[in-house]
Amino acid sequence: IPLLRRALAMSKRPLLLFASPWTAPAWMKSNGDVRGKGTLKGKAGDKYHKTWANYFIKFLDEYAKHNVTFWAVTAQNEPLAGLFTPPQAPTIAFTAAQQRDFIAQDLGPALARSPHRTRLLTLDDQRIHLPHWAKVVLGNATAARYVAGLAVHWYLDAIVPPGCSLEATHKLFPDHFLLYTEACTGFFMF
């Protein structure tokens, strides 16, 4: 919080912060551990999903107490990586359908009821998952009304041309923005 305050004070224009969760508490996960392959227990609409959605609101509440607000949150950082991640990495696995249902039944309504004007982003994973992820999540009218845009990572960009992923997704869902949220150079040695 002190570093965020310093950055906000030094900026000549407002900073738009976003947050992205890595994992839920172990008691909420199917594998009983914050690390490794595991999903949220149960299914969308149940006590685990509602409680996880409320964690987002509590997170926003606590930062707001320190005058730090978030422009956006993502529903999960690298939700498909949770299926392939090394056993020590903290994560939650979501398929596009699971994330759609979580957004439509739990996270979207929780954010809408909250005092926060924080936007919600979906995907927050590799571009190779587009446009499929967008079709599943944004193709559902209930989920789509809660989602402002798609968060995208660029690590595997060389595999899928932008026309097949970004452009195709934008043509299907022009009212939802696409935003690169995670990237680095030198990820692949070749």
Render pLDDT for 21-43 as a digit per residue (tens, 0 to 9). 999 999 999 999 999 889 999 99
State pLDDT tens for residues 43-99.
999 999 999 999 999 999 999 999 999 999 999 999 998 787 777 889 999 999 999
- HSE-CB at 50 with a 13 A cutoff on CA atoms is 4
Fill in the DSSP letter of residue 123: E
Q: What is the pTM for the complete model shown?
A: 0.94
Compute CA distances 15 → 6, 9, 80, whole Å.
Answer: 11, 10, 29
Which of helix, strand or coil describes residue 49? helix
CA separation for the pair 67, 61 (Å, rounded): 10
Per-residue confidence (pLDDT) for residue 120, from 0 to 100: 98
Catalytic residue among 51, 162, 179, 182: 182
pLDDT over 70 percentage in the chain: 96
Based on the residue annotation, tell me whether 167 is a catalytic residue of this protein: no
Among the options 53, 78, 116, 165, which is catalytic? 78
**Phi, psi (deg, nearest 5) at residue 47:** -65, -35
Which tops the pLDDT comparison, 84 or 13?
Answer: 13
pLDDT of residue 37: 85
Whether CATH 3.20.20.80 fits 1-182? yes
Look up residue 145 and give its two tokens. 């009304």
Spatial separation of the C-alpha atoms in residues 133 and 98, rounded to whole Å: 11
The per-residue pLDDT for 187 is 61
> Is it the case that residue 189 has pLDDT exceeding 60?
no
What value, to the nearest 5°, has the Cα angle with vertex 9 and ends 8 and 12?
85
**Gap between the Cα atoms of 60 and 12, Å rounded:** 24
Q: What's the per-residue H, E or C state across the chain? A: CHHHHHHHHHCCCCCCCEECCCCCCHHHECCCCCECCCCECCCCCCHHHHHHHHHHHHHHHHHHCCCCCCCEEECCCCCCHHHHCCCCCECCCCCHHHHHHHHHHHHHHHHHHCCCCCEEEEEEEEHHHCCHHHHHHHCCHHHHHHCCEEEEECCCCCCCCCHHHHHHHHHHCCCCEEEEEECCCCCCCC
- Enumerate the domain spans of the chain: 1-182
Q: What mean pLDDT is reported for the chain?
A: 93
The pLDDT score that the predictor gives to residue 87 is 77
